[in-house]
Copies of this chain bind each other. A is one copy, B any other.
Amino acid sequence: MIPQDDRGLLLGDGLFETILAEDGGLEFWDEHMARMARGCGVIGLAPPDAELARGAALSALEAAGLASACAVVRVTLTAGSGRGLERRPDDRPRLVVTASPYQRPSGPARLSTSDVRRNEGSPASRLKALSYLDNVLARREAVVRGADEALMLNTRGELACAAASNLFWIAGDQLFTPALECGVLDGIMRAQTMSAATELGAQARETRAGADVLKSAQAVFLTNSLMGVRAVCEIDGRPLGGHQLLDAIAGRRRRGAVGR
């Protein structure tokens, strides 16, 4: 339980990470904690002690009977207790670490372009912030439309991401992903995917592009820390194919060369 005056609850004032745990191993733990620390710098919170958080994560897995399972550990850091828009100098961040079972989504994703735009004009759009309602609304809208996930543009109409993953596409046999300045989370699997592409001799390009570029894309896929790489089979009802580069990246992930 957390207090009713927690600023995470009252104002979405805080950050989180969701970490894949397999058989008790915390995938990319250091990367997740480093990202949270960078985010703390942006929003002005003291970062959590990574070792204390790791202990809490392992305890949470144990307590939930998930130490030998596929699970998701969520590390939530709030700005602590306090009322009003302004934090008090003596507010201390609150760390909440939980574990739940995780099941990867099966099959490729059908996307629906969302009416909810990413706010590239706020630093929060590049952070995993507790103020996540835009993503909730985008996903909700996608599901209502019979899709699995939302394709989100920013307010300039540029491609940004999905509601809970980063976006990649292959066009002219080249790999592309929206630049962070488009209002995009600096995804850990996004970075891993870009590294994997480089190792495969296919440099990924960060770019600013309108949604139209996906109409001529050879393949589109999503990445995040939990599911790894997931192909997109459809956008707004229009079918999409595969590509050997997507297969190669997903294959590396399956063999443990990406995402371990």
Contact = CB atoms under 8 A, between A and B. Distances in A.
Contacts of A154: 121
A195 interface: no
Nearest to A101: B83
A248 interface: no
Interface residues of A, number: 53
A137 B124 CA distance: 9
Work out how many copies of this chain go into the complex.
2
B123 A116 contact: yes
B12 A130 contact: yes
A76 interface: yes
A97 to B, nearest CB: 9
Contacts of A9: 2, 6, 8-9, 76, 78, 96, 130
A137 B10 contact: no
Interface string A89-126: 00000001010100000000000000011111111100
Nearest to A135: B85
A43 interface: yes
Contacts of A145: none
Contact of A120 (B7, B11, B137, B155): B155
Contact of A1 (B4, B13, B133, B134): B4
A9 to B, nearest CB: 4
Nearest to A7: B136
Nearest to A164: B85
B121 A129 contact: no
Contacts of A12: 12, 129-133
Contacts of A83: 74, 100
A235 to B, nearest CB: 19
A156 interface: yes
Given A85-B135, A155-B119, A164-B85, A98 B130 contact: no
A221 interface: no
A11 B134 CA distance: 9
Given A83-B100, A155-B156, A11 B164 contact: no
Interface string A38-80: 0000011000000000000000000000000000001010110
Q: Which of A78, A98, A130 has the most CB of B within 10 A?
A: A130
Given A10-B16, A13-B132, A155-B156, 4 more contacts: A1-B3, A85-B135, A117-B122, A121-B155
